[in-house]
Chain A
Amino acid sequence: MYCCSIQDFHHALHNTHLFATLQPQYIEAVCRTTHFAECRAIVDCNDVLLHAPITTEAMALAERAYALLRGERGDRIGTFRILHNELNQRTSIIIEDLPDGITLDYAVLTMSQDRLLSGLSEFTKRLRHADISLNNLRKQNIIVDNHGHWHPIRLYYTTLGYGDDNEQLLALRSDIEQHAPKDNTLNEPLSAYRTEYTPLLEGRRRTTTAEGVGFMDEDGNMVIAPRYAWASDFDEGRAMVMTKDKRMGLIDTSGREVIKAQYEIVEYNAIDGNSWVRENDLWALFDYSGFQVTEWDDREMVDDDIML
């Protein structure tokens, strides 16, 4: 089965015509797991994880898991889709919907032991009834929703037969018992939060607080104030941001708005460093330094001007 390089996947995310059907938006940085390159993105208004196989065994594992998780098992545990020959007409892509909630490593900090252990118990029952093992149970791979239900993600290592996850389930239980608060006072409602992955990228960790989204440095200092409603991860020194009144801009790693957050849309392309910017339904191209390099016009017209 065909696999691709991380570079191929990264390139395609910025040149979406290389996909057969996908039109991912608001893509985040590409991460890597053992067999897949992974990227979080919005596809058809849904928050998803896209996985591209980077080893020859990857798709065989995913096909096996997919066969198991179709139908009733998928209803109990969750599932994903495989888009065959999606990338460059030969590499299949896995797409996995992300439920609302927070990953277990954050839930351990904000939810009570009782609630988390109850979620664990109910999740274990579901695994037993489905008679499967996920073989990938880590805190980063479990999303806990508003009701305390557990939703596993990165399901591509699933195998038939309950029991292979027992050791990891015990480790999760132990972790909850050691680290989660015993009382209920920190049982915060989760509706204000989205699933949050915060790898340290280019020296900045995207962080969601009650005030909004900002960025911390490697020492945990909030170096870009959490004043945005949304922000992408940094990619080649730039991150897209959106203010609470839905105006978009582009910032550098010091937080300076290279493109002021005052436009309807800013689409940054990390391949060439340029950004498409829309205002009053007209588009213009801005360069990496934030200088407007074309007049405002229909996007096709601007594109044609650049080609000329």
Chain B
Amino acid sequence: MYEQRITRAHRTAIVLVVDCSTSMQEMTTINNLVMPKAEAIAFASNYLIDELMALATRYDGLRDYYDIAIIGYSGDGVESLLPADGFNSIAHLATIAPEKRDFTFICKDVVDEDCSTTYAIRPWVDAKATGSTPMFEALAMVADLVEKWCNEPTNRQSFPPMVFNISDGEPTDGTIDELISIAERIKHTATKDGNTLLFNIHLGNNTAQHPVTFPCEYNYTSECPHQNMLFRMSSLLPEGLESALEEQRADHGPYRCVAFNASFGELMSILNIGSESVKRN
């Protein structure tokens, strides 16, 4: 299980489910650069697409290895943040790649314009932060998406979809039971290589709260209902991916695919560990 290599015959799917609610206007720090969380998430999404595109590029051109969906949820509802609703193949995205644009970020604790840094980024996804947090509705859409993808005969042998739900807040549209139930629906979708993997990443607020990433299944304790909900919603990290974590840590798996109070750096690290398997092409 979870061993299928990614090829043009055995493609895989990656879904980012992104909180675009008002609280994503909160400032965060990335490599000493200060920016709102919404911009940081857009940065991460854009970076991931570019990286996958680079990974899929061979001497003979771009190979169509991945289907990508980025779903945003906010007070405006649930919407695709990429051009097409649902999945966009990496080959299709390559044909409509936007020009790189300059984004300028201010250095931490400095308001002097001289201390800003500019990055040229392909803006696949724009930053957005408005209204409430309809996570249930977004995950319901994702459940339909991955179910349909897994049922496609051409995808039956593929590495299963990976879903990354990234939020800094609590859902405003569902009870804990409803959220766990919709997460179960996502995790029950499967190809012959394994069930869909659901990662939940709760972004912190640069406060003193200690970040927790990939907690061990047997050592985790929390009094917080929201954290417990995210823990239960998340998949167990497959054995094949545990080794990357065990090299860095004293404890052993099984690990849950969840993070609490994560910084942007930890988010990038989770996206890297999570997508390790899909890079084996």
Contact = CB atoms under 8 A, between A and B. Distances in A.
Interface stretch (B20-28, B56-64, B234-242): B20-28
Scoring B175, B205, B227 by chain A CB atoms within 10 A of each residue's CB, the highest score goes to: B205
Interface in A237-267: 237-238, 252-254
Contact of A32 (B25, B129, B169, B175): B175
B207 A6 contact: no
B22 A252 contact: no
B224 interface: yes
A270 interface: yes
Interface string A29-52: 010100000000000000000000
Contact of B22 (A6, A7, A200, A273): A273
Interface in A200-223: 200-203, 218-219
A5 B21 CA distance: 17
A293 interface: no
B98 interface: no
Contacts of A7: 75, 77, 132, 134, 137, 172-173
A154 interface: no
Contact of B168 (A237, A270, A271): A237
Nearest to B168: A237
Given A7-B173, A202-B169, A236-B22, A270 B207 contact: no
B207 A203 contact: no
B223 A236 contact: no
Given A271-B22, A271-B130, A237 B205 contact: yes
Interface string B193-232: 0000000000001011000000000000011111100000
Scoring B134, B170, B225, B227 by chain A CB atoms within 10 A of each residue's CB, the highest score goes to: B170
Given A6-B173, A202-B170, A219-B223, A273 B75 contact: no
Contacts of B21: 236
Interface in A170-200: 200
A272 interface: yes
A15 to B, nearest CB: 10
B131 interface: yes
Nearest to B137: A7
Given A32-B175, A237-B26, A270-B22, A201 B170 contact: yes
Interface in B93-139: 129-134, 137
A270 B23 CA distance: 8
A278 interface: no
B231 to A, nearest CB: 13
Contacts of A271: 22, 75, 130-132
A10 interface: yes
Interface residues of A, number: 26
Nearest to B208: A254
B225 A272 contact: no
Contacts, number: 78
A210 B222 CA distance: 29
Given A7-B75, A218-B224, A237 B22 contact: yes
A93 B255 CA distance: 46
A6 B133 CA distance: 11
Given A7-B75, A252-B205, A203 B224 contact: yes
Interface string A274-298: 0000000000000111000000000
B130 A272 contact: yes
A67 B227 CA distance: 43
A266 to B, nearest CB: 16
A149 to B, nearest CB: 33
Nearest to A288: B25
A11 interface: yes
B172 A10 contact: yes
A165 B205 CA distance: 46
18 contacts: A7-B132, A10-B172, A32-B175, A203-B224, A236-B21, A236-B131, A237-B23, A237-B26, A254-B205, A271-B131, A272-B22, A272-B130, A273-B23, A273-B129, A288-B22, A288-B129, A289-B25, A289-B26
Interface of A: 5-7, 10-11, 30, 32, 200-203, 218-219, 236-238, 252-254, 270-273, 287-289
Given A200-B226, A271-B75, A288-B25, 7 more contacts: A6-B173, A11-B132, A236-B22, A253-B205, A271-B132, A273-B130, A289-B25
